[in-house]
Structure 1
Amino acid sequence: MARDTMDFEIISFSALHHGAYKNFQKHPAALVESTKGIYLNTSDGRKILDATSGAAVACLGYDNKDVQKAVVEQLLNVPYCHPGFYKTQAAEDLADFLVESTNGQMSKAVLCGSGSEAVEVALKLAKTHFSHLAIPQTERSHFITRVGAWHGATLGALTLGDFKVRKDPFVQLISQNSSRVSACSSYRGQRDGEDDEAYVARLAQELDDEFLRIGPEKVCAFVAETVGGSASGCAMPLKGYFPAMKAVCEKYNALLILDEVMCGMGRTGTLHAWEQEDVVPDILVVGKGLGAGYAPVSAVMINSKLVESFQKSGKGFAHGQTYMAHPQAAAAALKVQQIIRDENMLSHVRSMGAYLGTKLKERLLPMPYVGDIRGRGLFWAVEFVTNKKTKTPFPYDLGLNGLLHSRGMSAGYEIALFNANGGYDGYSGDHFLICPPFIVSKEDVDEIVERTARVVEDTFEELGKSAVWEKITLQMEIDEVEVEVKPAAAMVAAQ
């Protein structure tokens, strides 16, 4: 007999009903009733200032009439057709735009539905490229990525990532054909007294050593976020880092795949983040801001080297998905990108980004538990530590990033901060991202910084009154003693 469904309590926005990774039984999600500009209006009367563009997605805000019109027109014309049987003008135009946006560096584009999906396509394209060579290199199936990376939530993307909070529950399902080298992190990875050039050289040697450890003939590609995303908190590459990494890849005939799902499409001040790094990838992945949230869309671009291997082999690409090159998504994304280009928004991103960075550092960096503020364009992160000298993270179980986010969303603050953790070891290491829409004004930036500062100040004031703070304070005192003892011990040893 069928079980009576009334035996079950159905909780709206529970983890299963909502389909998101957070537990909404513990942290109920706000029900958004309307949006305007950079604000989201909830059913309980809050007007949330979106300082994160969702997740670095809604770069044009929430009510761009031109994009809405483009989507409706496409819906009324060709709403959908099977991508394996047909092509549409909207998809062709978007692919052309993307290729042209690279000034000839990329040759073809594949349109997908999400960042994770696009990363999966990039891996399959890389593997297929080596299989299609005149002398097939079928052993190349290993991918080298970086500590602290995040490349998406699907199984192939999880293989690349190192965000343990999201990866470890599924480790038994994940392929083991990846390994990690150190990320480029001047805040946590650069040694005392080590200049940028020496640090980059050390990282390049580490990558070279990893190629040799795995076997160069087995490595398919080195995969990296051009600017670190949610897991690493806007970790910025040093000058010369990516050219050095690509030189190692070319030494062993492997590919360089850059993941710009979060940092790309204008977010850091140029349409493609790699344009600021004196490097060109073999495969480029973009998403999020590509469609600005008006439609789910992402893309993979490949250079002429990969195109040539496909053309000469005469073989196809064994891949296909129902919503690839979706015409409505393509129409939305193309209009978004045309607006960004025609309104010269990237110049605004650079100027407002510089202003945002300056104001964040002025207002938040003097706070005792703010360890670092880093970013570029309208893509910034604030990292929290118990001790600025030791850079010790707060305990993972404290859930500091969640406390900050929850307070921000509450009445009286009403600001969305993109909270994350794992920047230290995949679990601990609290930070949040501030990546507002490209349409922000100077007054908007001032409001974002002031609301953010109040969230941080009031969260730590309340924490200071809690029972758990005594334990944290004790650990901070121990860390402080160690900081004082180590230099003295080193001096004694030197004598």
Structure 2
Amino acid sequence: MSHVFPRHTRLNPPVAVGGEGCYLIDASGKRYLDASGGAAVSCLGHNDPEITDAVKAQLDKIAFAHTGFFTSEPAEQLADLLIANAPGDLDRVYYVSGGSEATEAAIKLARQYWVEKGEPQRARLISRKQSYHGNTIGALSAGGNEWRRAQFGPLLLDVTHIDPCYEYRLRHDGESLEDYGQRAAQALEDELLRVGPDTVMAFMAEPVVGATAGTLVPAPGYFKRIREICDKYDILLILDEVMCGMGRTGTLFACEQDGIAPDIACIAKGLGAGYQPIGAMLCSSHIYKTIEEGTGFFQHGHTYNGHPTAAAAGLAVVSAILDRGLLQRVQTQGDKLADRLADRFGQHPHIGDLRGRGLFYGIEIVADRDTKEAFDPAKGVSGKIKKAAFEQGLICYPMSGTIDGKHGDHVMLAPPFIIEDAQLDELTDKLATAIDAAI
């Protein structure tokens, strides 16, 4: 009898005992191709000796030192490396232990920034429907997935949610991608004018939406227009790259491909690649200087901020991504994955859309390809796909509620950057079998 509180009390998951590259191994010896990297975490695969050696070496020096008293060498080195490769004016790194903590810190920093600038009326956050920013109360408030929010509604902050950039469902017939991108972005300016720009502290968005909507890729020009609107009304832009960042889409920061930079960025998952729990919030020099020249104290913090062992893992992971040419590999293998998915599912009667960037892909499942009608949620299609895939030894990330938190199903893929061509074939074959079995 287990005393672990599991994610679902009616499931009895196998025990993971080993990992080898793109595979996880359970106690019976069964191997599973990790085609989603867990939750887009294991970007370097499992049991990478260079990363594990870096963690072991740090443990031999100093495992933990509280940042109320010390900094550490790996924390300083990782911050230098991140900022050297960060877009725009990002200049400071605030360490946390995961994605929810990163977005929570971003929201609180945005608020304190305006308080210290003498504009305390700026307390409103704008985000997007079908976004996901984490599971703390603040992060859940920012997120726009109604199913995840529903039972906690009385506890959540007052956050406005505008429509996402969801070309497959929201672009009009005859409307160009570029025109749709401009129209989708205009929703932000419309909302600012509705609530009053001087009441808004920030707009938060995922450059490529992850788990809740199945890797929604922005339309061309969408984020450039978003950046223009934020600048016009002096609104901070927070980009949540917890899932889509750290090379997942083919550039270290996902927003690089949209030609913009945020005022605050949130990263995690691929930052530690699963070897240690670590996340970070990065902010611009202007924001940092405002705090520095004001109270000098960011009124926030966690015990494990800047944990030296976690930072050592992060340093090794980011160094590996950059030094091993993995960003180019993500682009190359991502193109191959896209081709395989198009060949296998491009004309499938129950596949409505294939979308993604790099090694970050989503497959939207529909009951009717022509009308885009979703399956009845009661059928539990995504759950059945997950179960069928897992039985074959394939780990993927199916989710329901793609459209509005209740309706729609998708499968998200985020395999390790080291995935080989034969493993892409294995992924596609097993996923096709699982989808057909479930439907």
The TM tier, using the shorter chain, reads over 0.9
2:324 paired with 1:343: yes
- One-letter amino acid of the structure 1 residue matched with residue 109 of structure 2: L
Listed one character per residue, the Cα deviations across residues 274-313 of structure 1 (whole Å, up to 9, x for unaligned) are 1000111110101100010000000111112212212222
Equivalent of 1:448 in 422, 427, 431: 427
How far apart are 1:103 and its partner, in Å?
5.3
* Segment of structure 1 superposing worse, 255-264 or 449-458: 449-458
Which residue type is aligned with residue 415 of structure 2? P
- The whole-number CA distance in structure 2 between the counterparts of 1:451 and 1:172 is 42
Query: Over residues 388-436 of structure 1, what are the superposed CA-to-partner deviations in whole Å (9 max), with x where a residue is unaligned?
Result: 12211111121111100001111xx110111112211112211111110
Give the conservation status (yes or no) of the 8 Å contact 2:88–2:262: no
Mark the runs of 5 or more structure 2 residues left unpaired by the alignment.
Answer: none
Amino acid paired to 2:48? N
The structure showing larger relative contact order (alpha-carbon pairs under 8 Å, at least 6 residues apart) is 2
TM-score for the superposition, normalised by structure 1: 0.87
- Cα separation, 2, equivalents of 1:29 and 1:346: 33
* 1:167 aligns to 2:149 (yes or no): yes
Query: Could you say which residue in structure 1 is the equivalent of 2:13?
Result: 29
Letter aligned with residue 138 of structure 1: P
2:303 paired with 1:322 = yes
State whether residues 234 and 380 of structure 1, in contact with CA within 8 Å, keep that contact through their aligned partners in structure 2. yes
Instruction: Give the corresponding residue for 1:247.
Output: 228
Counterpart position of 2:411 = 432
- Post-superposition shift, 1:153? 0.8
**Matched ranges for 1:26-65 at <5 A:** 27-65=11-49
Q: Classify 1:450/1:266 alpha carbon distance in 2 versus 1 (closer, same or farther; 3 Å).
A: same
Give secondary structure in 1 for the equivalent of 2:226: helix
What aligned pairs does 1:347-366 form with structure 2 within 5 A after superposition?
347-366=328-347
Tell me the distance in 1 between the aligned counterparts of 2:369 and 2:87. Answer: 43
How many residues align? The count is 439
Map 1:253-268; keep pairs closer than 5 Å.
253-268=234-249
2:69 to 85, 90, 106: 85
Q: Are the counterparts in 1 of residues 87 and 256 from structure 2 also a CA contact under 8 Å?
A: no
| CA contact 1:216–1:252 (8 Å) conserved in 2 | yes
Q: Does residue 12 in structure 1 map to residue 2 in structure 2?
A: yes
Matched, 1:394 2:378: no
Q: Could you tell me whether the CA contact under 8 Å between 1:373 and 1:381 is conserved in 2? A: yes
Per-residue deviation, residues 443-465 of structure 1 (Å, max 9, x unmatched): 111111111111112222xxxxx
Q: How far, CA to CA, are the matches of 2:13 and 2:69 in structure 1?
A: 40
Whole-Å separation in 1 of the counterparts to 2:201 and 2:369? 39
For 1:199 and 1:97, the matched residues in 2 are separated by 37
SS at match of 1:143: strand
> Residues 186-218 of structure 1: CA distance to partner in whole angstroms, max 9, x if unpaired?
101111111123212222322111001111111
Matches within 5 A, 1:85-484: 85-102=69-86, 105-133=89-117, 136-176=118-158, 178-410=159-391, 413-460=392-439
- Deviation at residue 46 of structure 1 after TM alignment: 2.1
Choose 1 or 2 for highest CA Rg.
1
Q: Quick one: distance in 2 between partners of 1:151 and 1:104? A: 22
Q: 1: distance between equivalents of 2:87 and 2:228?
A: 22
Give, in whole Å, the separation in 1 of the partners of 2:187 and 2:348: 35
Structure 1: gaps of 5 or more residues: 1-10, 461-495
Partner-residue secondary structure (3-state), 1:371: strand
Separation in 2 of the partners of 1:315 and 1:70?
33
RMSD: 1.3
Checking the alignment, whether the CA contact within 8 Å between 1:37 and 1:63 is kept in structure 2 is yes
In the alignment, the residues of structure 2 paired with residue 105 and residue 250 of structure 1 have an alpha-carbon distance, to the nearest angstrom, of 14
- Distance in 2, matches of 1:169 and 1:215, equals 29
CA contact (8 A) 1:120 1:156 kept: yes
Give yes or no for contact 1:184–1:203 (8 Å, CA) kept in 2: yes
Q: Distance in 2 between matches of 1:368 and 1:197?
A: 28
**Matched residues, percent identical?**
38
- AA of the residue aligned to 2:28: D
Read off the aligned partner of 2:122 and give its amino acid letter.
R
Determine the C-alpha separation between the residues in 1 that align with 2:215 and 2:162. Answer: 18
Give deviations 1:87-135, integer Å, cap 9, x for gaps: 11111111111111115631101011010000000001111111112xx
Q: CA offset at residue 161 of structure 1? A: 0.9
Preserved CA contact (<8 Å) 1:132 1:315 = no
> Shift of residue 365 of structure 1?
2.4
Shift of residue 351, structure 1, vs aligned partner: 0.4
- Which amino acid in 2 is paired with 1:438? F
Once the two structures are superposed, what CA deviation does each residue of 1:303-347 show, in whole Å capped at 9, x if it has no partner? 122122122224311111101100010000100111111111111
**Are the equivalent residues in 2 in contact too, given 1:242–1:279 (CA < 8 A)?**
yes
